[in-house]
Amino acid sequence: MFPVFSLFRKKTTPVDGTFSMLATDMHSHLVPGIDDGAKDLQNSLDLIKRLSQLGFKRIITTPHVRPEYFPNTRETILSGFETLKAALSANRSEIELGVAAEYFVDFEFMEYLEKEKLLTFSGGKVLIETSTIAAPPNFQDIIFQLRLSGYQPVLAHPERYLHMDLKTFQKLKELGCQFQVNLMSLAGHYGSKVKKHADLLIQNQLVDYFGTDCHNTQHTQVLAEIANDAKLVRKILDCQPQNSDLGLT
């Protein structure tokens, strides 16, 4: 007989322990030895294997570009990427790997933008980040200028910027900035305030993409826990993220 209590049971989301519903990750640090992500080629290959086991079919990896800490250039990034791609194909990996960058936006970024051609993905998208302490006073002008220059800015982990409130997020959206929330923020990996800020973005339907921001093996373990958490998976699906539409170039 059909048990009565099952009629009142809460609808649960089936989980398979993966992020296959996202298909594409567009934020990670997997080029070996050029930022605070993968330490060497073996570490890169191991992290990519783990991300692939987590259901990602396509990965656009995004090394830091931040002059005083990670003075990467197009050349350092592209040459490291080529080495990694060659190793992947020697290992017969089926993952589709692309590369862009995560640009740190400070007051001087406007000058950088005038001089440099930025590394993009999926038709001109540029991943940017800023300080968790304060955004530069010209941050909105920079977003505007990026758009004028033909780029589509995607702000990495807006939830980590506790100095930004809902009004600021909405203003950035109006200026044409897209938002990528870190999956690990949903589980409180960066603290409860960041988790709450992620919920604010979610509740206001401001999330365009989720990203792993994977730097190391510990991150892949946190990600695996999230992929197995039905409540968090439901939360991700409810945002209708556009990850699967993203192309490598």
Annotate 165-210 with DSSP letters as a single string.
-HHHHHHHHHTT-EEEEEHHHHTTTT-HHHHHHHHHHHHTT---EE
Chain centroid to Cα 89, Å, comes to 24
For Fe ion, the binding residues in 66-125 under the rule CB under 5 A are 102
Given the complex with Fe ion, which of 29 and 173 has the nearer CB atom?
Answer: 29
d(CA 212, CA 148): 29
72: its two tokens: 């990467």
Selected range binding Fe ion among 45-53, 68-76, 210-218, 223-231, rule: CB under 5 A: 210-218
How many other CB atoms are found less than 10 A from the CB of residue 78?
14
Nearest partner of 41 among 5, 4, 90, judged by Cα: 90
Cα dihedral value 60, 65, 70, 73, nearest 10: 90
Selected range binding Fe ion among 15-23, 80-88, 159-167, 206-214, rule: CB under 5 A: 206-214
Q: Give the type of residue at 220.
A: T
Smallest gap from Cβ 156 to Fe ion, in A, equals 6
Asked if 127 and 62 count as a contact pair (C-beta separation under 8 A), the reply is yes
Q: Is 213 in the site for Fe ion (CB under 5 A)?
A: yes
d(CA 67, CA 32): 18
Smallest gap from Cβ 115 to Fe ion, in A, equals 23
Smallest gap from Cβ 131 to Fe ion, in A, equals 13
Given the complex with Fe ion, which of 137 and 197 has the nearer CB atom?
Answer: 197
Cβ-proximal residue to Fe ion, closest one: 213
Count, residues near Fe ion per rule CB under 5 A: 2
Selected range binding Fe ion among 5-13, 79-87, 209-217, 237-245, rule: CB under 5 A: 209-217
Q: Is 159 in the site for Fe ion (CB under 5 A)?
A: no
Given the complex with Fe ion, which of 27 and 235 has the nearer CB atom?
Answer: 27
Smallest gap from Cβ 211 to Fe ion, in A, equals 8
Smallest gap from Cβ 227 to Fe ion, in A, equals 19
C-alpha distances in Å from residue 134, one per residue of 107, 139, 178 = 11, 10, 19
Smallest gap from Cβ 81 to Fe ion, in A, equals 16
Given the complex with Fe ion, which of 103 and 169 has the nearer CB atom?
Answer: 103
For Fe ion, the binding residues in 172-201 under the rule CB under 5 A are none
d(CA 49, CA 30): 11
Given the complex with Fe ion, which of 58 and 61 has the nearer CB atom?
Answer: 61
Smallest gap from Cβ 199 to Fe ion, in A, equals 21
- Which residues contact Fe ion (rule: CB under 5 A)? 102, 213
